[in-house]
Each structure stands twice: as structure tokens, then as C-alpha cells.
A = this chain, B = another copy of it.
Amino acid sequence: MDITIVKIGGAVIENPDDLAQFLAAFEEIKGAKILIHGGGKDVSKISSALGLQTKMVDGRRITDAETLKLATMVYAGFINKNIVAKLGVNGKALGLSGADLNIVQTKKRPSEPIDFGFVGDPFTELVNTTELVALLDNKVTPVFCAITHDGQGQLLNTNADSVASIIAQAIAIAGHTVHLNYCFEKTGVLTDIENDDSYIKSLPVADIEKLHQSGIIHTGMLPKLDNAKYALANGVNSVYIKHWKNVAQNMGTQIC
């Protein structure tokens, strides 16, 4: 099967007009497709409103029980069901967490050296490609949030870029043709951050470290590029970083 996987970030989701425009563009993608969405700022906003303390260690957020609860509410509840309700796809949109049909099981990150709390790391062998491909065979469009589970009753918060990559890898390993698209507010990886026309059309994995050291690739882009690299290593057929408006086009930065 030929499968297109699209990861969309939080910023689009927070603007209803942008979301409508994105979903219309997403519908233009032909054939089997999977949407994975990130979070946005609601968790932080509600967390502050409730007076919860954001726990940080070494500048990284810790997912304690309360944060996990809020993340599950916002990602699996509000954002996921709003996308499902607004996505046409002939009434075949299906909102999913990793716990549903046990499709994305993860492992709680070890508590040493840093205990990040209820965070799950994904593995290709823990993706239930049988159930996922059966849904696609039935013309369903799965819409994933990045809440996963450990298979023993515990929900876990997972990085949405990683969920998109691991699903792409697992499906590729299962023998399907997979196109992975990371969509955000830029046209691609830019050589000049102020100029949307300056995107790199083709970025070989081997050049990433060099471009990072020369300051062209910013540190914040590195985790996405790592996910792209793993995807290609495991047989994903194409990986793009692109503007969400171009989700159905072969435009943007192709990692190769």
C-alpha cells in the first residue's frame, strides 16, 4: 500500500482558519493517509490557570501525573476530537491515542539519569501495524495524538515528531511505501530564516551535522532531522519538511 503520513504542529491547530485551510489541503492527498498532531499551548495555559507548577530539570519539562492528565485531556480530547469532527474524509476520520487498539505502545523512559516522569519512548516493534493497516484498508483516516501507553494500563506522553517517525518506520518495515511529511509554518529548512524562498530543496542526511555546525541549521530543528534520518534508515521512501499549506505537494525540504 502507498501511505502518506503527515505530522502537524501545534500552531496551526490553535488558529481555526488555519486549521480549516490545512484540513482542506490534507484532504487533497490521494490514497491512504495518517495525520499526527502536536499539542499547542493549551496545556501550559490551563496548567498556569490552575496554578500548577511546571517542573523542569536541566531546562526540560517533567511530565508529572497532573501534567499527563492535562496533556491527555487536551491532546486526546479537545484537539483530537475537534480535528476529527472537522475533517471530512467521507465520515471516515478516526481519532486515536496510542492506547486505542494498542497501536502505539511505548516504554516509559528510564528514571536514570533524569526522571522525566510519564514519558514514553517509541519503538518500531511496538507499533501494531496489523491493526493500523487494517484501518487504512477499510478507507479509515487515522488521526493520532501523541499520547501513548505502556500496555499495562499507564498512559504516557510522547513526542509527536517521534510518533510520526516511528509509525512511518514500522509501516515501511512491514513492506509498504511510505511518505513522511513534517508540516510547520515555514517552507522548509531555510538558509536564511527571514526568507521563505531560501529553503533547501534537497538535504542529504550526511550534511546535517556540517550545516548545524556552520549555524545554518538551528538546534531546535535537530530532533526533527534525527527523526527524518531514522525514518530513511528504516526504509521510509520520502521525508519532507514543509509548510502545512503545501501538505499535498512535493514542495519543501526533502531529506535524503
Contacts and interface: CB of A to CB of B under 8 A. Distances in A.
Interface of A: 46, 49-51, 69, 72-78, 80-82, 84-86, 91-95, 97, 99-102, 128, 134, 138, 140, 147, 149, 151, 153-155
Nearest to A99: B85
A51 B80 CA distance: 25
Contact of A78 (B73, B93, B140, B154): B73
Contacts of A72: 77-78, 81-82
A140 B134 CA distance: 12
Contact of A74 (B73, B80, B85, B101): B73
Given A46-B50, A81-B147, A84-B100, 9 more contacts: A49-B51, A69-B78, A73-B77, A77-B80, A81-B100, A82-B155, A91-B151, A92-B101, A93-B100
Contacts of A82: 72, 155
Contact of A86 (B73, B74, B101, B153): B153
A60 B200 CA distance: 58
Contacts of A128: 91
Contacts of A149: 85
Contacts of A100: 81, 84, 93-95
Contacts of A74: 73, 77
18 contacts: A49-B49, A50-B50, A72-B78, A73-B78, A76-B78, A77-B78, A77-B80, A81-B97, A82-B155, A84-B99, A85-B154, A85-B155, A91-B102, A91-B128, A91-B151, A92-B101, A95-B97, A95-B100
